[in-house]
Amino acid sequence: MHKSVAPTGPEKVITKNNPNSFRETELMDYLKENNISNLVITGMMTDVCVAATTRAAMDLGFENTIISDAVTTRNRELHGKSLPANRVTETYLAGLNVLGGLYSKVESTEDFLK
């Protein structure tokens, strides 16, 4: 964990080894024990961990909000074509926000904090 985002107090840290943060972790137990039903999702990489965790969270009954300017990914290649990271992120966020936020609402930090 980068020191700029490391907990400074008694925050819970859950280590994961899979793209889906619920898989083989204590995340679900922690959320249930603390009556948490709304998740704010940020992180790296939009098309891998963010997408997998967001879809799993929706399937498990959570209401999700992804902070669009707090997620990113890397450039990708497909069929010899380069896909810039910002386009990959935009495409995945659009898919997660489909049908009025089926998997997740998507908001900027500024809008979320209003």
Structural domains in the chain, CATH included, are 3-112 (3.40.50.850)
pLDDT at residue 91 tops 90:
yes
Residue 91's alpha-carbon distances to 11, 26, 44, 68, 78, in angstroms, are 32, 30, 15, 12, 14
Q: Mean pLDDT, to the nearest integer, of 5-22? A: 94
Taking the C-alpha atoms of residue 84 and residue 24, their distance in angstroms, rounded to an integer, is: 31
Residues 6+ apart with CB under 8 A from 89: 46, 47, 68, 71, 72, 73
State pTM to two decimals: 0.93
CA gap 64, 100 in Å, rounded: 12
With bands split at pLDDT 50, 70 and 90, how would you rate the model's confidence at 20? very high
| 24-82 pLDDT per residue, tens | 999 999 999 999 999 999 999 999 999 999 999 999 999 999 999 999 999 999 999 99
